[in-house]
């Protein structure tokens, strides 16, 4: 079946799915969405009621949520890079680390970025402080994992690395890793050099000015 990915090149969760596709040279048709246009948004909401990207169309099957997109690819379009181990016991820690990056790194980063977009009278300094604290806690945990290197599960590049790349890339811009987390800093540098993620970053470069500054 032909694959179509509905996405935007600057969206972090879209990066996660793109990394998985590029890792295995999985053929797909990219459908770049500009949801600023009401007609585009309405058409996309008809496919994805919450209007969330990425969305994978595989024949008549629609798959939402980046982790589930990668799970679907591993199940129905496997490639040379086994992003999710077939052994359920080996897959469990991969899935756990994937959730940590999404729920504690990615979401905390997005809380900080989202606050920058709020009007001055609607800022949430308490929520931002909580998000920064959560990020630092997550960094400390990731630091122990990154010591296992070169990838977050050791030698194998997995779903967890697909999650880590966009999460850490953007989180480092709002709550810098600095010298306190040398293993994680080195790991992020390796991720940025990985061909699949380097390609994602190159494609996103024209949109980099959209990232809100403090």
Question: What are the pLDDT digits (tens) for 132-151?
Answer: 999 999 999 999 999 988 99
With both helix axes pointing from N to C terminus, report the angle between 159-174 and 182-193 in degrees, rounded to the nearest 10. Answer: 110
| Helix extents (H) in the chain | 12-23, 38-47, 66-76, 88-100, 107-116, 125-146, 159-174, 182-193, 195-204
> Does the pLDDT of residue 214 top 80, yes or no?
no
Across the chain, mean pLDDT equals: 95
CATH 3.10.20.30 fits 3-76, yes or no: no
> Does the pLDDT of residue 128 top 90, yes or no?
yes
- Three-state secondary-structure class, residue 181: coil
CATH number for the region 88-194 comes to: 1.20.1050.10
Pairing of strands 3-7, 29-32: parallel
Q: Domain coordinates of the chain in residue numbers? A: 3-76, 88-194
Q: Which residue has the tokens 């403090």?
A: 214
CA triple 204-209-213, angle to 5 deg: 125
Question: What are the pLDDT digits (tens) for 72-113?
Answer: 999 999 999 999 999 999 999 999 999 999 999 999 999 999
pTM comes to 0.95
Measured torsion, CA atoms of residues 161, 166, 167, 171, in degrees rounded to the nearest 10: 140
- CB-based burial of residue 143 (10 Å sphere; 0-12 exposed, 13-18 middle, 19+ buried)? middle
């Amino acid at each position: 079946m032909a694959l179509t990915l509905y996405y935007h090149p600057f969206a972090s969760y879209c990066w996660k799915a793109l990394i998985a596709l590029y890792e295995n040279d999985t053929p797909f048709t990219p459908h770049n969405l500009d949801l600023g246009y009401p007609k585009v948004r309405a058409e996309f909401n008809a496919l994805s009621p919450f209007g969330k990207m990425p969305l994978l169309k595989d024949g008549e099957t629609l798959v939402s949520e980046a982790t589930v997109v990668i799970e679907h690819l591993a199940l129905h379009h496997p490639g040379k890079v086994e992003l999710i181990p077939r052994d359920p016991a080996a897959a469990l820690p991969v899935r756990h680390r994937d959730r940590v990056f999404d729920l504690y790194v990615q979401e905390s980063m997005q809380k900080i970025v989202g606050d920058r977009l709020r009007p001055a009278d609607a800022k949430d300094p308490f929520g931002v402080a909580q998000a920064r604290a959560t990020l630092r806690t997550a960094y400390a945990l990731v630091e122990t994992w990154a010591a296992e290197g070169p990838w977050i599960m050791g030698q194998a590049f997995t779903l967890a690395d697909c999650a880590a790349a966009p999460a850490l890339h953007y989180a480092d811009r709002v709550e810098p890793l600095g010298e306190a987390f040398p293993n994680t800093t080195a790991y992020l540098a390796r991720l940025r050099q990985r061909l699949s993620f380097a390609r994602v970053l190159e494609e996103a470069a024209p949109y980099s000015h959209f990232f809100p500054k403090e």
